[in-house]
Chains A and B, each alone.
Chain A
Amino acid sequence: MGYMSKVLLSAASGAAMLLGGHLAPVQAQDGKDANFVPLFTYRTGPFSGSGIPIANGMRDYLEMLNQRDGGIGGAKIVIEECETGYDTKKGLECYEAVKGRNPVMVNPWSTGITLPLIPRAAVDKIPVLSMAYGLSASADGQTFPWIFNPPNTYWDGLSVIIKHIANELGGLDKLKGKKIGYIYLDAGFGKEPIPMFEQFAKDLGFELKLYPVAATDMQNQSSQWLGVRRDRPDYMVMYGWGALNPTAIKEAARINYPMNRFISIWWPSEDDARSAGPGAKGFRELNWHGVGTDFPVLKEIQKHVIDKGLSKVAKGKEGEVLYNRGVYNSMLIAEGIRNAQKLTGKKAVTGEDVRRGLEAINLTPERLKELGMEGFTDPLKLSCADHNGHGAAFVQEWDGEKYVKIGGPIKPMEDKVGPVAAAAAKDYVEKNAGWPKRTEACDSK
């Protein structure tokens, strides 16, 4: 058969696949039980700087389970990446491509892709794990039984930042008369905390200055930082993603803004701070898991995956903030599957089982130790009502080479955040008339 006819044939069969649907449920090659975990990743496009380490971390942890334990509970994990480029249309295409193949869950890794999936999750019976992003209101498991966003919401993060500032000043009452600047991505993600921020400003008596950065202007923030120079806020808070973070850190260093008063939500990576040079020293951000490779779980990944050449991670990049976040994400996936297996007694589980499994997540200190994550992160317990955990976060500081944890864990201000989240969930239900009531049974009492 000539080359041309081969190409034609494969094109034809490709078209046939598109038409007829290549949607057979996934099974392991040898016919044994398997669980299909699609990973929506973005190794291309303007957000790939953040997307690549996350993709590597997610993949390597699951690969480690495959290599070391032969999967989870005797069932192999079928890992498949789908490139979204952080683009909603490609993300939806990925979703359509995997949804008929019995995926145990999806991880959209983009708020834009998460939002259209929220109403579909219950219908397609595929849980959505949007780890500390997406719709903050979806932490309410009674309203959103299929959506999970542990371990914190953006609102929790904001309250932690406020608490951190208050701790530095010596009490919440000391915030009175201060000026806090907020630089953020002018999209849903960055705008979500504003009502809450304004509430804090009113309650605690500080002045809030807003510096929105449009998604198209992420790399050109000179006007915003000119504003910062003029307004001289006592503290700066940042909610950014992709190219916004390194640019903001660079600009802050350029105007000699005191870095230890510049606090970000948990997304900036090492590269973001490093690219700003020595001026970035002292930059702070929230985090809820360890950095570096001094944890048994990272050692296992090195031993079973990286050293065998099965990883795409660049040398020395494992253990960075976003890599470890990917690991944390995959640990949640694995725990969800494992719990689902325990609950149902099956090896190959479905999205419905894993939804129950995720609600049963209970990362006690003992369990974390078994996972090789002792000291890596704090315990986390989810329930039918609470799909988030609203766990504590800590502040870490850039010392010029790596992030160093400063201070202990800070709990979010539940009394302030709770009502806002409940109101937002209610608002979502009202605006989406006919939003289904929870019918899914609850395992954990």
Chain B
Amino acid sequence: MLYRETGQFKTSYKADMAVFPIRQDRIGLGLILLVAFVGMPLFASEFMLSAVMIPLLVFALAALGLNLLTGYTGQLSLGTAGFMGVGAYACYKLTTFFPEVNLIVWILASGFFSAAVGVLFGLPSLRIKGFYLAVATLAAQFFLQWCFIRIPWLYNNNVSGAIEAPVRTLFGMPVTGPHASAELRYLVVLSTVALLTWIASNLVHGRVGRSWMAVRDMDIAAELMGIRLLPTKLLAFAVSSFYCGVAGALMVFLWYGSAEPEVFSISQSFLILFMVIIGGLGSLIGSFFGAALIYGLPIVLKSLFPVLGLSVGAATIEHITFMVVGAMIIGFLIAEPHGLASIWRTIKQKLRVWPFPY
């Protein structure tokens, strides 16, 4: 059928090692980007953009960050929400100190603060592994959330104890605050996520990513091959926290508009961990799948009932959503423990050889 690579010859090593070796994949990616960058802002409703797409991209970015650490390097972390919070609070402090600097600069810069904190809490990872590391990162989560509540300097002594995104402009148009259009906010989030995904893709396909995966698969063997564990693990913590920090800044500035410390609670960390597990550990596209499933499914279910003509109470829908999502998580874990990304790979493989499976 359409998805077949017959006749696509690879004549160079470069072509052989390409991230997307099949032409149809490249076309498909181009189409997705076209729809995301052009189609969505032109045709999607405001609800779709600000209540579905922006959250989805933000969660995908955070899941991507966690995936680099947990999926690629094998270091289990429960501090994701805390690192997101560091990004958000850093961005808030930076933009209130230097309001004239472009917000995008600060959103990206806040990732470095998060990276620094991530490295600090990543230090124990050299000595402890697995569940014990998870507990250490849990400490990061609680400590950071405690900071967000307890240090008034972080939220500029606001009486409400929350941080509020001040109005900032981009190309003369407001990008935060109540007047910001959903389209602009969406495009900023999308561009940031696309850029960071591209960087992540290059990282994981290059030397750095290979050393991460070597550490994940067997750290002693990796060490024997000359990979220095401490810098490798710390780099994974730094990059992962950078991504989470940027996601946190995007979340508060371009989605919520203001945030209480409660937003960066442990449940958020778990949510993102579930996205990574459901999406597929060690897969970039899996992070997007996971975010889409965990965040998007409840919204789809919510709008499904009225369409089906069933009048169900709002709370009942919520309960049903919980049950369906829970059942799906268990179902996926049994049927496909490697997540949605693995299902995706299987489908592609089947399509490639269709109709003659071997």
Q: Which of A61-69, A84-92, A161-169, A354-362 contacts B (4 or more CB under 8 A)?
A: A84-92
CB pair A83–B164 under 8 Å, yes or no, is no
When distances are taken between beta carbons in the complex, the residues of chain B under 8 Å from A18 are: 45, 47-48, 52, 299-300, 303
Pair B261/A10 contact, Cβ less than 8 Å: no
Determine if A14 and B304 form an interchain contact, defined as CB atoms under 8 angstroms apart: yes
Q: How far apart are B251's CB and chain A's nearest CB, in angstroms?
A: 9
CB distance from A188 to the nearest CB of B (A): 4
Stretch at the interface among A119-127, A173-181, A273-281: A119-127
Does A187 reach chain B (CB closer than 8 Å)? yes
In the complex the two chains form, is B160's CB within 8 Å of A192's CB? yes
Output the nearest chain A residue to B266 by Cβ-Cβ distance: A216
**Among candidates A15, A119, A191, A192, residue contacting B178 with C-beta atoms closer than 8 Å:** A119
Q: Does A11 contact B (CB under 8 A)?
A: yes
Q: Give, as a whole number of angstroms, the nearest-CB distance from A143 to chain B.
A: 13
Cβ contact within 8 Å between A10 and B307: yes
Min CB distance B220 to A, Å, is 37
One digit per residue, 1 when the CB lies within 8 angstroms of any chain A CB and 0 when it does not, for chain B 310-323 equals 00011101110010
Residues of B within 8 A of A115 (CB): 160, 162, 164, 258, 260
A116 proximal to B (CB < 8 A): yes
Q: Is the CB of A88 within 8 A of B265?
A: no
Stretch in contact with the other chain, from A264-272, A334-342, A427-435 = A427-435
Provide the bound-state CA to CA distance between A6 and B159, in Å: 52
When each residue 71-98 of chain B gets 1 if its CB lies under 8 Å from chain A and 0 otherwise, what string results?
A: 0000000000000000000000000100
A21, B161: Cβ atoms closer than 8 Å: no
Q: Are A20 and B45 in contact (CB under 8 A)?
A: yes
- Shortest A310–chain B CB gap in Å is 12
B46 at the interface (CB under 8 A from A): yes
- Nearest B-chain residue to A6, judged by Cβ: B308
- Give the contacts of A152-207 with B (CB-CB under 8 A): 186-188, 191-192, 195
A272 and B281 CA atoms in complex are apart in Å by 43
Query: Bound state CA distance, A97 and B315, in angstroms?
Result: 16
Q: Do the beta carbons of A188 and B178 come within 8 Å of each other? A: no
Contact A41 B44 (CB under 8 A): no
Question: B343 → chain A, closest Cβ, in Å?
Answer: 18
Find out whether the CB atom of A187 lies under 8 angstroms from the CB atom of B161. yes
Question: Within A93-116, which residues are at the interface with B (CB < 8 Å)?
Answer: 93, 96-97, 100, 111-112, 115-116
On chain B, the residues within 8 Å of A116 by CB distance are 256-259
**Roughly how many angstroms separate A17 CA and B301 CA in the complex, as a whole number?**
12
Is A28 engaged at the interface, CB distance under 8 Å to the other chain? Answer: no
With a CB–CB cut-off of 8 A, which chain B residues contact A188?
159-162, 260
Residues of A within 8 A of B259 (CB): 88, 116
Asked whether any CB of chain A lies closer than 8 Å to the CB of B51, the reply is yes
Instruction: Give the size range of B's interface with the partner.
Output: 35 or more
Inter-chain contact B307/A44, CB cutoff 8 Å:
no
A43→B315 contact, CB < 8 A: yes
Task: Give which listed residue, A20, A312, A431, contacts B158 with CB less than 8 A.
Answer: A431
Considering the complex, which residues of chain B in the window 241-274 have a beta carbon less than 8 Å from any beta carbon of chain A?
255-263, 265-266
Instruction: Bits for B36-63, please: 1 = Cβ < 8 Å to A, else 0.
Output: 0000000111111011100100000000
Q: How many residues belonging to A are interface residues under a CB distance threshold of 8 Å?
A: 56
User: Could you say which residues of chain A place their CB within 8 Å of the CB of B179?
Assistant: 123
Most buried by B among A14, A15, A81, A432: A14
A442 within 8 A of B: no
Contact B51 A92 (CB under 8 A): yes
**What residues on A are CB-neighbors of B315 within 8 Å?**
41, 43-44, 81, 83
- The answer to whether B260 touches A11 (Cβ under 8 A) is no
With both chains docked as a complex, state the minimum distance between the C-beta of A365 and any C-beta of chain B, in angstroms: 35
Residues of A within 8 A of B263 (CB): 88-89, 112
* Any B CB within 8 A of the CB of A343: no
**In the complex, which residue of chain B has the Cβ closest to the Cβ of A80?**
B314
Query: B47 near A431 (CB under 8 angstroms)?
Result: no
For residue A19, CB closer than 8 A to chain B, the reply is yes
> B188 at the A/B interface (Cβ < 8 Å)?
no
Given contacts A19-B44, A21-B47, A85-B318, contact A187 B260 (CB under 8 A): yes
B166 contacts A431, C-beta separation under 8 Å:
yes
Whether A77 is near chain B, meaning CB under 8 Å from some CB there, is no
Contacts known (A19-B43, A21-B45, A214-B149); A111 close to B160, Cβ less than 8 A = yes
Please determine whether A431 and B164 come into contact, CB atoms closer than 8 angstroms: yes
Q: Which residues of B contact A14 (CB under 8 A)?
A: 300, 303-304, 307
The answer to whether A187 and B149 touch (CB under 8 A), given A18-B299, A93-B51, is: yes
Given A11-B300, A17-B303, A83-B314, A119–B51 Cβ distance below 8 Å? Answer: no
The answer for the CA separation of A19 and B317 in the assembled complex, in Å, is 21
Residue of B nearest to A85 (CB): B318
Partner of A81, one of B146, B160, B255, B313: B313
Chain B minimum-CB-distance residue to A123? B178
Closest chain B CB from A98 CB (angstroms): 9
Kindly provide the distance from the CB of A42 to the nearest chain B CB, expressed in whole angstroms: 8
A434 to B, closest residue via Cβ: B167
Q: For window 5-45 of chain A, which residues contact chain B by CB distance below 8 Å?
A: 10-11, 13-15, 17-23, 41, 43-44
State how many angstroms separate the Cβ of A18 from the closest Cβ of chain B. 5
Contact in complex: B262, A19 (CB < 8 Å) = no
B164 surroundings in chain A (CB, below 8 A)? 115, 119, 431-432
| Contact of A363 with B by CB under 8 A | no
Q: In the complex, which residues of chain B have a beta carbon less than 8 angstroms from the beta carbon of A192?
A: 159-161
Q: Are B161 and A124 within 8 A (Cβ)?
A: no
A247 CA / B358 CA spacing, docked (Å): 63
Tell me whether B299 and A93 are in contact (CB under 8 A). yes
The reply to whether the CB of A253 lies closer than 8 angstroms to some CB of chain B is no
> What separation, in Å, do the CA atoms of A191 and B157 have in the docked complex?
11
Closest-by-CB residue of A relative to B43 is A19
Partner of A432, one of B47, B166, B299, B303: B166
A82 at the interface (CB under 8 A from B): yes
Of A43, A100, A111, A432, the residue contacting B318 (CB under 8 A) is: A43
8 A-B pairs (CB sep. < 8 Å) = A11-B304, A23-B47, A43-B314, A89-B256, A100-B47, A216-B142, A216-B265, A424-B159
Q: Given contacts A81-B313, A111-B160, could you give 14 more A-B pairs where the C-beta distance is less than 8 Å?
A: A13-B307, A14-B300, A14-B303, A18-B47, A20-B45, A21-B48, A89-B263, A119-B164, A186-B149, A187-B161, A187-B261, A428-B159, A431-B164, A432-B164
Top 3 A-B pairs, shortest CB-CB distance: A21-B45, A43-B315, A96-B51
Q: Which B residues fall within an 8 A CB radius of A?
A: 43-48, 50-52, 55, 96, 99, 142, 146, 149, 156, 158-162, 164, 166-167, 177-179, 255-263, 265-266, 299-300, 303-304, 307-308, 313-315, 317-319, 322
